[in-house]
Amino acid sequence: MKDLRKAVFPLAGHGTRFLPMTKASPKEMLPLVDKPVVQYTVEEAVASGVSQIIMVTGRGKRAIEDHFDISYELEDVLREKGKMKLLEDIRRISFMAEVVYTRQKESLGLGHAVLCARNLVGEEPFAVALADEVIDASCPALAQLLDVAREFDAPVIGVQEVPPGEVSHYGIIRGQEIREGLFRVDSLVEKPRVEEAPSRWAVIGRYILTPDIFSILENQKPGVGGEIQLTDALVTLASHRPVYAVRIEGRRYDTGDKGGFLRATVRYGLKNPELGPDFRKFLVELLEHPEEV
């Protein structure tokens, strides 16, 4: 497999789990300490060697475009005030990668969102990253997948094991473990009931795909929820060629869920070198004396 240059970010969802906050603001722009959620996943992609980010957006997502664009007025203000470190941080956001955009005009599912990026991807392998899934890992999650994709010259899906009670929230793989944490995928089931789940290995929003997925998506019939499911297309792909799944090492936070977002906020707040010590002290005091804090 040639070097991975492009990553597709499906960002057209309505963020209904965070209403009313997301009525006018994209869920991907929710602040995780001092950066929007989407920036964490873009930085992961760039750290994995990606140089072009393809964002599939929809109506009401203009704030995402503005965030990754240059803000001349803000830069002038920071420069005049001598805040050069902050100016450097702001400019880095605009130049960390080439960011291009296309629209998903109808909410027809994740598979359809990926298909919308077809002309921008072209005939080369590409990553898909769901910005909701923030993964705190020493080795970037997409880089972990890319190692396997290069080894086997094949598409790779990122998975983690989930408790039985959560399998109905994910696409679940069926496959053979060929070495620890690596599976040859036979099939996938989208959001199965726990008694019907083939495993507890859940697809967690990181993929490295080959361009032959597009012709499958183009002819894919609607699946769960009446949408074009990427999971269904991967089932078809796995029947034509080897597809692998690799266990991603790292802490995963579903920031599209309120509980997951709060857990991520606490984790990244504690990791922040400026805020962490005082925040940790506050949490300890809160646990010991909740009525006084």
Pairwise CA distance, residues 170 & 176, whole Å:
19
C-alpha angle 166-130-50 in degrees, rounded to nearest 5 = 140
> For the segment 45-83, what is each residue's pLDDT rounded down to a tens digit?
999 999 999 999 988 889 999 999 999 999 999 999 999
Enter the tokens of residue 69.
């664009």
Please choose, from the candidates 231, 198, 279, 255, the residue with its C-alpha nearest in 3D space to the C-alpha of residue 36.
255
Q: What are the domain boundaries of the chain?
A: 6-256
Pairwise CA distance, residues 74 & 139, whole Å:
33
Q: DSSP strand E in 64-220: where?
A: 98-103, 126-129, 133-136, 156-161, 171-179, 182-190, 201-209
Please choose, from the candidates 184, 142, 189, 198, the residue with its C-alpha nearest in 3D space to the C-alpha of residue 169.
189
Q: Buried (b) or exposed (e) across 139-153, using 16+ Cβ within 10 A?
A: ebbbbbbbebbbeee
Pairwise CA distance, residues 279 & 270, whole Å:
6
pLDDT at residue 5, rounded to an integer: 94
C-alpha angle 126-127-129 in degrees, rounded to nearest 5 = 155
User: What is the pairing mode between strands 126-129 and 201-209?
Assistant: antiparallel
> For the segment 162-176, what is each residue's pLDDT rounded down to a tens digit?
998 888 888 899 999
Pairwise CA distance, residues 33 & 267, whole Å:
10
pLDDT at residue 107, rounded to an integer: 82
Task: Write out residues in the chain with pLDDT < 70, as ranges.
Answer: 1, 293
pLDDT at residue 293, rounded to an integer: 62
pLDDT at residue 136, rounded to an integer: 95
Please choose, from the candidates 145, 54, 68, the residue with its C-alpha nearest in 3D space to the C-alpha of residue 103.
54
* Residues ≥6 apart with Cβ < 8 Å to 164: 194, 197, 200
Peptide bond into 20 cis (omega under 30): yes
pLDDT at residue 53, rounded to an integer: 97
Pairwise CA distance, residues 84 & 92, whole Å:
12
Upper half-sphere CA count for residue 72 (Cβ side, 13 Å): 0
CATH code assigned to 6-256? 3.90.550.10
* Residues ≥6 apart with Cβ < 8 Å to 41: 9, 129, 130, 131, 133, 134
| 8 Å CB contact between 43 and 87 | no
| φ, ψ for residue 246, nearest 5 deg | -125, 135
Enter the tokens of residue 111.
């598979």
Pairwise CA distance, residues 176 & 267, whole Å:
34
